[in-house]
């Protein structure tokens, strides 16, 4: 869904709980301390909820920026070592865009994420919007000094033609996960 926060900004969100007159939403890319209770319908809102807007269908108030992503675009990516409850964000440049049909790559060097889903087999997995699994390769200049192996002077490519990952400086992230946001989201 799209949900409006207390500052009246619209964000992609996931419904975490449903009650007869309210829903609890988790704003994608934000810590759970920002989760909010919103009215399910405008006409049912009472008291403190009267000034809040109910959620609306996904991408009816937010842009479909994830679908438009291309090599060279800038995004915000969670710092690999930031605390789960207090994430830090860095600008990153998109180096490669995988296909939705690609076998998901192992994600190495990324941030620990707070909001997780159960995969049905007792294992916690990152939240993904609409369960989409497309991945992108990003370069995060602020993470360059955290690389454990020396950085080559020329970028090498893998067998699939994509640049080689060098986590956390150059790493794959799920495009539809909470590890990535539209540029300028966390100013």
- The residues pairing with 10 across neighbouring beta strands, listed in sequence order, are 4
Residues 6 or more apart whose CB falls under 8 angstroms from that of 98 comprise: 105, 134, 135, 136, 137, 162, 172
- Residues 176 and 97 sit within 8 Å (Cβ to Cβ): no
Please give the pLDDT value at position 168.
84
Rounded to an integer, the average pLDDT of 28-44 is 85
> pTM score > 0.75 for this model?
yes
Q: pLDDT over 90 for what percent of the chain?
A: 44
- The residues pairing with 13 across neighbouring beta strands, listed in sequence order, are 27
Q: What pLDDT band is residue 47 in, cutting at 50, 70 and 90? A: low
SS (H, E, C) the chain: CEEECCCCCEEEEEEEEECCCEEEEEECCCCHHHCEEEECCHHHCCHHHHHCCCCECCCCCCCCHHHHCCCCCEEEEECCCCCCCCCCEEEEEEEEECCCCCCCCCCCCCCCCCCEEECCCCCEEECCHHHCCCEEEEECHHHHHHCCCCCCCCCCECCCCCECCECCCEEEEECCCCCEEECCCCC
Q: What is the pLDDT of residues 112-169, one digit of tens each?
A: 776 566 666 776 677 788 888 899 999 999 888 765 555 554 456 666 678 888 888 8
Please give the pLDDT value at position 158.
66
Phi, psi of 90 (to 5 degrees): -130, 150
Q: What is the pLDDT of residues 55-84, one digit of tens each?
A: 999 999 999 999 999 999 999 998 888 777
Distance CA 41, CA 52 (A): 10
């Amino acid at each position: 869904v799209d949900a409006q926060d207390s500052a009246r900004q619209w964000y992609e969100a996931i419904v975490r709980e449903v009650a007869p007159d309210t829903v609890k939403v988790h704003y994608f890319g934000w810590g759970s301390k920002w989760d909010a209770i919103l009215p399910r319908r405008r006409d049912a809102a009472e008291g403190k909820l009267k000034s809040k807007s109910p959620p609306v269908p996904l991408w009816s108030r937010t842009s479909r920026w994830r679908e438009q992503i291309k090599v060279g675009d800038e995004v915000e990516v969670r710092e690999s070592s930031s605390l789960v409850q207090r994430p830090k964000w860095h600008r990153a440049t998109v180096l490669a865009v995988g296909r939705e049909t690609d076998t998901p790559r192992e994600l190495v060097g990324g941030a620990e994420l707070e909001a997780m889903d159960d995969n049905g087999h007792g294992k916690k997995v990152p939240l993904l919007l609409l369960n989409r699994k497309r991945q992108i390769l990003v370069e995060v200049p602020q993470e360059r000094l955290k690389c454990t192996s020396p950085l080559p002077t020329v970028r090498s490519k893998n067998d699939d033609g994509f640049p080689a990952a060098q986590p956390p400086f150059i790493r794959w992230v799920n495009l539809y996960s909470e590890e990535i946001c539209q540029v300028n989201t966390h100013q």
